[in-house]
């Protein structure tokens, strides 16, 4: 496994370069969940049990964070430090087919950038691979990011062209 770690003007960036991008339909049956599982398997890990990190706001939409959020985000951050990607479920529309009744789409978090001030991490942005496209440049774009704000992981999906909020994290094992 390859891991890039470098500092740029008080920013620590960790990217997991060994993960192989899979798009919907390859290798598994046009499903983002299965494509994410294939990306993890290619890296020698699989997703664990679901940790729900947001409350259900109704109508299949993510609400405020719950008590699991801080610990799950820290776990995912530490996993990236150890070169281990993590599957997450994101909400982007009303309704849901996910077990948490909020998530609509799966992506794989494969890297992060941390802003450091006076030796302390002041912000974290996670980078993810999105299998919801046949275009690997969009699916692996460095613009596919999730920002941590008040224990909420959210961002904009260049693939879905919508705002997304992480509803659950599936720690890798």
Map out the domains of the chain as residue ranges: 3-170
Cβ(55)–Cβ(63) below 8 Å: yes
Q: CA-CA distance, 77 to 74, in Å (whole number)?
A: 5
**pTM score, whole prediction:** 0.85
What per-residue confidence (pLDDT) applies to 81?
A: 87
User: pLDDT tens for residues 19-44?
Assistant: 566 655 544 445 888 888 888 988 89
What per-residue confidence (pLDDT) applies to 102?
A: 92
- Which regions in the chain score pLDDT beneath 50? 1-11, 14-15, 18, 26-29
Judged on CB neighbours under 10 Å (0-12, 13-18, 19+), 137 is exposed
Q: CA-CA distance, 146 to 86, in Å (whole number)?
A: 13
Residue 173 is encoded by which pair of tokens?
């094992």
Q: Where are the alpha helices (DSSP H) in 43-92?
A: 69-81
Which residue's entry shows tokens 């008040």? 150
């Amino acid at each position: 496994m390859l891991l890039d770690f470098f500092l740029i003007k008080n920013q620590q960036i960790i990217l997991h370069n060994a993960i192989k991008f899979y798009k919907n339909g390859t290798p598994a049956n046009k499903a983002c969940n299965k494509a994410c599982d294939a990306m993890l398997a290619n890296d020698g890990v699989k997703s664990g049990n679901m940790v729900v990190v947001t409350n259900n706001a109704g109508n299949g939409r993510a609400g405020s964070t719950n008590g699991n959020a801080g610990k799950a985000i820290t776990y995912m951050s530490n996993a990236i430090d150890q070169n281990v990607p993590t599957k997450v479920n994101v909400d982007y529309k009303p309704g849901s087919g996910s077990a948490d009744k909020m998530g609509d789409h799966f992506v794989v978090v494969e890297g992060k950038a941390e802003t450091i001030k006076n030796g302390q991490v002041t912000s974290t942005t996670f980078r993810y691979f999105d299998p919801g496209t046949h275009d690997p440049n969009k699916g692996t774009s460095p613009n596919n990011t999730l920002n941590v704000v008040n224990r909420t992981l959210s961002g904009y999906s260049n693939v879905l062209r919508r705002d997304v909020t992480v509803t659950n994290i599936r720690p890798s094992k």
